[in-house]
Structure 1
Amino acid sequence: MTLQRQVIFWILTLAVTVLLLAIFRAVLLPFVAGFALAYMLDPLADRLQRTGIGRLGASLIILILFVLVFIVALMVIVPLLGQQLGEFVDRLPSYVARLQQLAVEQGGPLIDRLGGANALSDIQKSVGNLMSQGIAWMGTFLQGLWSGGQALLGIFSLLVVTPVVAFYMLVDWDRMVSTVDSWMPMRNRDTIRAIARDIDRAIAGFVRGQALVCLILGTFYAVALTLLGLNFGAMIGMTSGILSFIPYVGSLTGLILSMGVAIVQFWPDWTLIVATLGIFVFGQFVEGNILSPKLVGESVGLHPVWLMFALLAFGSLFGFVGLLMAVPLAAAIGVIARFALQQYLTSPLYRGTEPVIITPKVDLDA
């Protein structure tokens, strides 16, 4: 009966939490963003504390630096990327038409074998339908994210409330963790602490590490493509870097966009087209062999397919707030699922014997 009551209690707690998220999702964005920002910056605050700076002073220094970097980004990077994005959208139909023309000119013999003019018409119609469906889907997706993630007070609340929330959470972070830890059931406290450490390790390893990987890759792609002279190189590079948060998606998106623009812009100069391809091949080599093993690690446990599903699912349900919550929740669900699988494999339901309880090792030095 005790176990049954515990299960009912945690199920009800989960249901109430989901219900509250659904009710207050319109105003959650600045608070969730502030919490995520405080979580990412907490190790930096701890390092500053070890130098002799108090927690309040360390949090204040971090907040000022973050605001300065954010203002510079708004004044320099965002206008540039916005201008290139607008021009890219305007030129997209002409780029697609030019790619179709080049495909017809260079693939004439193959098209004749497939059926001549009828095959060409079918190919053009299929490409046109695919492009229109893709643009429509992207517009619907972005509109859903905007409407689902928009706070009641608009963007102003995100820009003003988020830093304030992050500052206060950063100041009281250790105290909050200790308080929540004291609420854990005493009988299962060691097990819960071990699971929480695994969740924190998974989230920290992916979010902090992958965010740094995205920043490095986005900067490299943007600078390299711009120096190469590729149109919209900064926008394509930064977009590829941001989307690299989802493994393989960012590099594939950037490769397709950059190669399409390079073929239209540089044809028939194969040297610059191959150089564009080489930039992404080199970027993927560095990411796979240096950046990801060093910054992210191999013990995160977030499969790319599970990560993509979590981002799409939570983004669809809760908008931009869902995107911020997707990775932590996906990591937490993964850790809990692995622990539940361990318990099942040692249970009478699987073994047909007396249950063997597995308690994760507690790292007392952590």
Structure 2
Amino acid sequence: MALPARKQVQYWSIATVVFAVVLWALGNVLLPFVLGAGIAYLIDPLADRLERWGLSRPQATASITVAAALLFLVMLLIIVPTLIYQLSDLITVLPEAIGNARSYAQTNFPAIFDDQSRIHQTLSALGETLQTKAAVILETALGSAASILNLVVLVVIVPVVSVYLLLDWDRMIARVDMLLPRDHAPILRQLAKEIDAVLASFVRGMGTVCLILGSYYAVALMLVGLNFGLAVGFVAGMVTFIPYLGSLIGGALAIGLALFQFWGAVEIATGDTVTYATDWLRIGIVVVIFVLGQIVEGNYLTPKLVGNSVGLHPVWLLLALSVFGALFGFVGMLVAVPVAAALGVIARFFTSQYMESRLYQGQTHKDAE
């Protein structure tokens, strides 16, 4: 005999509250396991493909682990030192670049720095807000994941968790399926399938888009001669995961650094006189690089790799990142996208149920039939 609907709602509500409290209480302790589960989820299709090619699950897991270790070793020896060097230099150079921009603005747009002007008041308020938010984000990051002990734990535990979960992924999914309530199993399987499709389209697709765009920006900017091309490409690729924000941050950073580096960088010698001119060609090439990147990303990469049926609106994604980041810290930001995808699928399901119900259709629709 099935439980009454009211009892089922009570039990599932209690389970949801308990899960949220546990996630909030454990917080950063769960970080390695959340990362490991995410990596295993992302790599599972590759393991399934290797199985279809004739490898057993342990063999497929071992092959992926060896390949990942070799790739990590190459990055550690070649790419990571250069990236860290450029990022540290970029942090050192940014204050000077901002100071030069301020001096230029003071000379050419003095109204901006008039204490009584509305523009100055607006910019000051915006700057104070950004400083406050940046301090909160930095404090959260330092408190949650940047200590040496936590870093060692991440480096050691995350790969181990990923390997074990990848090895047992199919068995775990089968076990969870066996534990589903029998009356609701078909609906729950359908919802899980839709959630997996959304996550596969968004997380795996956007991860590939971020990798492609980050590599493109890094290589192209280094070929142009931008001093911090690898670091800018890395930053632009990472934040591309958040729609529209990646292009704004990456483009503003690259163009700002190009202006700082190439402004007055060309020597023109005329007899005994040496003058300096701005290298507008390289600045223009930097702008073109980001414009082309956005055209390719918007018209080919995202439609091809992510698809148009993901159902995650950028505003919904930003809201999820903000809410879960505020509630659960860094771990909350990691699970924000999967939870937002799941909630989106569940919301669409309940919307369709509502539109088929008497509450929506009413007595008039029944009489018309």
What is the TM-score normalised by the length of structure 1? 0.88
Residue 211 of structure 2: which of 215, 219, 236 is its match? Answer: 215
SS in 2 for 1:212: helix
For 1:59-98, what aligned pairs fall within 5 Å after superposition? 59-98=61-100
Contact 1:307 1:330 in 2 (8 A): yes
Which of 241, 245, 250 is matched with 1:245 structurally?
A: 241
Which range moved further: 167-176 or 343-352? 343-352
SS at match of 1:352: helix
Q: Which residue of 1 aligns with 2:271?
A: none
Deviation at 1:339, TM superposition (A): 0.6
Alignment of 1:228-243 (within 5 A): 228-243=224-239
Change (3 A) 1:307 1:220: same
The higher-RCO structure (CA 8 Å, 6+ apart) is 1
Indicate if the aligned counterparts of 1:301 and 1:334 stay in contact, CA closer than 8 A.
yes
Instruction: Decide which of 316, 331, 342 is 2:352's aligned counterpart.
Output: 342
Indicate the larger mover: 295-304 or 60-69.
60-69
Task: Render the CA deviation track for 1:235-276: whole Å, top value 9, x for unaligned.
Answer: 111100110011111111011111111122212222211111
- For 2:364 and 2:122, locate their aligned partners in 1 and report how far apart those are by CA, in whole Å: 61
Note the C-alpha offset of 1:75: 3.3
What does 1:159-170 align with in structure 2 at a 5 Å threshold? 159-170=155-166
8 Å CA contact retained: 1:151, 1:157 = no
Q: Decide which of 126, 129, 153 is 1:157's aligned counterpart.
A: 153
Distance in 1 between the 2:115 and 2:241 partners?
A: 39
Stretch moving more, 341-350 or 37-46:
341-350
Q: In the alignment, residue 338 of structure 2 is paired with which amino acid?
A: P
Which residue of the partner structure matches residue 199 of structure 2? 203
Distance 1:294 1:117, change over 3 A: closer
RMSD after superposition = 2.6
Partner residue, 2:280: 270
In structure 2, stretches of 5+ residues that fail to align are 264-277
Return the letter of the residue paired with 1:4: R
> What is the alpha-carbon distance in structure 2 between the residues aligned to residue 93 and residue 228 of structure 1?
23
Please give the alpha-carbon distance, in whole angstroms, between the structure 1 residues aligned to 2:51 and 2:121. Answer: 63
The answer as to whether partners of 1:26 and 1:150 remain within 8 angstroms in 2 is: no
Q: 1:28 aligns with which of 21, 27, 30?
A: 30
- Per the alignment, residue 305 of structure 1 pairs with 315
Indicate the larger mover: 137-146 or 204-213: 137-146
Hey, what's the Cα distance between the residues in 2 that align with 1:297 and 1:6? 36
> 1:45 corresponds to which letter in structure 2?
A
The one-letter code sitting in structure 2 at the alignment partner of 1:84 is: Q
Identity %: 45
Distance in 1 separating the partners of 2:50 and 2:6: 46
In structure 1, C-alpha distance between the alignment counterparts of 2:118 and 2:262, rounded to whole Å? 27
Measure, in 2, the Cα distance between the counterparts of 1:80 and 1:290: 30
On the 8 A contact 1:206/1:296 being kept in 2, the answer is: yes
- TM-score w.r.t. the length of structure 2 is 0.87
Task: Answer yes or no: is the 8 Å Cα contact 1:223–1:234 preserved in 2.
Answer: yes
Q: Does 1:326 align with 2:336?
A: yes
Instruction: Return the alpha-carbon distance in structure 1 between the equivalents of residues 141 and 92 of structure 2.
Output: 23
Is contact 2:215–2:237 with CA below 8 Å preserved after alignment?
yes
Structure 1's unaligned 5+ residue stretches are 357-366
Q: 1:281 to 1:264 in 2, by over 3 A?
A: same
Cα deviation, residue 152, structure 1: 10
Q: What one-letter code is carried by the residue in structure 1 that aligns with 2:304? A: K
**How far does the alpha carbon of each residue in 1:177-196 deviate from its partner, in whole angstroms, 9 at most, with x for none?**
11111111222221111111
Say yes or no: does 1:37 pair with 2:35: no
Kindly tell me the number of residue pairs found equivalent between the two proteins: 350
Instruction: Give yes or no for contact 2:218–2:233 (8 Å, CA) kept in 1.
Output: yes
Deviations 1:272-331 (A, max 9, x none): 111111000000011111111111111111111111121222222222222221111010
Matches of 2:334 and 2:365, distance apart in 1: 39
State how far apart, in whole Å, the 2-side matches of 1:131 and 1:80 are: 31
